[in-house]
Amino acid sequence: MKKQLIVRLKSGLELTFVPNEVSLDNTFIPVAPLLNENDFPLLLHFTHAALVTTLNLSKMPDCVLLHLIEDYSPKSAAFCLNRSEGDFTVQSQCKRVLFIPFPIPFKPSEIVSIRLSKKSKP
Amino acid sequence: MNQSINNNPEYALSKESIARGHGTFPYIIVRKSHAVYMQIPIHFITEKPIGLSGLFVNSIFDDALQNSLYLIDIAMEYKGNIDSKSGHKNRICLVLSPTQAYFFEEDEILFSTSIPSGGTLLNNSQWVIATANPHFIS
């Protein structure tokens, strides 16, 4: 059974993402190498006890980060649109971050809720 | 409508179809039947288009990335219209890139990194515009 995240928008539409989940206990995470082994959408789960995780987004393809708290409720969003060769990091105070490839067909501000679905898919 | 007829069993999108906007992201795919798809290009426009076919959306943005944030609503509205006209629920797919698609299934919209490809591709006038080829131009 694969984990599904259901993103509900203000319009009432629900979008289903079946993420590739990676659990990590580091507080500094180069994300681009993880995408060599895992497709979008990518769900990172931080298992360390620190308050903040630093995500190195250098050389990442364009994507949107949704920062989720323990029950998967969305806390904030960030756009990763690399336009230079310089290093690029962001910090997250959340224990989970969902990476969705850009472009996304909805505004992050339209998200009402995100929930975990237990429904099994063929 | 001036449309050339291609009798080859396999052929890609013609220059004529590409000039009308086919093969360029974003677009909607309507599944007509097994391996038969209809492609509806989505155009964000600021003035009346000439020579294009597909779905036209008035836009105040120059930036394609800004426009993309409205695509799920545009696709849902389009699906509502064709469902209403056809009297049944159509299976459609919003395709954003070679690795990004949102499938509108029975009761959900499912993201996938795999997009529809091959089969017989029609335009919205029901002309065959490609067979057994990718639905986009590289």
Contacts of B79 in chain A (CB under 8 A): none
Q: Please state which of the ranges A2-16, A107-121, B27-41, B109-123 shows the lowest mean pLDDT.
A: A107-121
Burial-class residue A63 by CB neighbours within 10 Å (0-12, 13-18, 19+).
Answer: buried
Asked if the Cβ–Cβ distance from B72 to A15 is below 8 Å, we say yes
Asked if the Cβ–Cβ distance from B96 to A105 is below 8 Å, we say yes
Residue B59 has pLDDT above 50, yes or no: yes
DSSP tag of A108: G
Q: Residue A87: helix, strand or coil by DSSP?
A: coil
Question: Do the Cβ atoms of B104 and B76 come closer than 8 Å?
Answer: yes
Q: What is the pLDDT of residue B58?
A: 86
| In chain B, % of residues over pLDDT 70 | 93
Q: How far apart are the first and last CA of chain B?
A: 27
Q: How confident is the model at residue B51 (pLDDT cuts 50, 70, 90)?
A: confident
Q: How confident is the model at residue A1 (pLDDT cuts 50, 70, 90)?
A: confident
Residue pLDDT, tens place only, A7-51: 999 999 999 999 999 999 999 999 999 999 999 999 999 999 999
ipTM given for this complex: 0.91
Question: Do the Cβ atoms of B37 and B68 come closer than 8 Å?
Answer: no
Question: Do the Cβ atoms of B100 and A99 come closer than 8 Å?
Answer: no
| In chain B, % of residues over pLDDT 90 | 64
Asked if the Cβ–Cβ distance from A102 to B70 is below 8 Å, we say no
Q: How confident is the model at residue B47 (pLDDT cuts 50, 70, 90)?
A: confident
Residue B40 has pLDDT above 90, yes or no: yes
Residue pLDDT, tens place only, A67-106: 999 999 999 999 998 777 788 899 999 999 999 999 999 9
A40 interfaces chain B, CB cutoff of 8 Å = yes
Residue B71 has pLDDT above 90, yes or no: yes
DSSP lists the bridge partners of residue A45 as A23, A96
Report d(CA B66, CA A104) in Å as an integer.
10
B19: closest CA of chain A, how far (Å): 24
Q: What is the pLDDT of residue A10?
A: 95
A9: closest CA of chain B, how far (Å): 10
Residue B1 has pLDDT above 50, yes or no: no
Q: What is the pLDDT of residue B7?
A: 59
Q: How confident is the model at residue B77 (pLDDT cuts 50, 70, 90)?
A: very high
Q: How confident is the model at residue B52 (pLDDT cuts 50, 70, 90)?
A: confident
Q: What distance lies between CA B55 and its chain's CA centroid?
A: 9
Kindly report the average pLDDT of chain B as a whole number: 89
Question: Do the Cβ atoms of A74 and A67 come closer than 8 Å?
Answer: yes
Average pLDDT of the segment spanning B16-36? 93
Asked if the Cβ–Cβ distance from A15 to B71 is below 8 Å, we say no
For residues B47 and A99, the model is more confident at A99
For residues B17 and B103, the model is more confident at B103
Report d(CA A120, CA B117) in Å as an integer.
26
Asked if the Cβ–Cβ distance from B65 to A17 is below 8 Å, we say no
Q: Residue A112: helix, strand or coil by DSSP?
A: strand
B85: closest CA of chain A, how far (Å): 21
Q: Please give, one letter per residue, the 3-state secondary structure of chain B.
A: CCCCCCCCCCECCCHHHHHCCCCCCCEEEEEEECCEEEEEEEEEECCCCCCCCCEEEECCCCCHHHHHCCHHHHHHHHHHHHHHHHCCCCEEEEEEECCEEEEECCCCEEEECCCCCCCEEECCCCCEEEECCCCCCC
Residue A53 has pLDDT above 80, yes or no: yes
Nearest-CB residue to A13 (from B65, B70, B72): B72
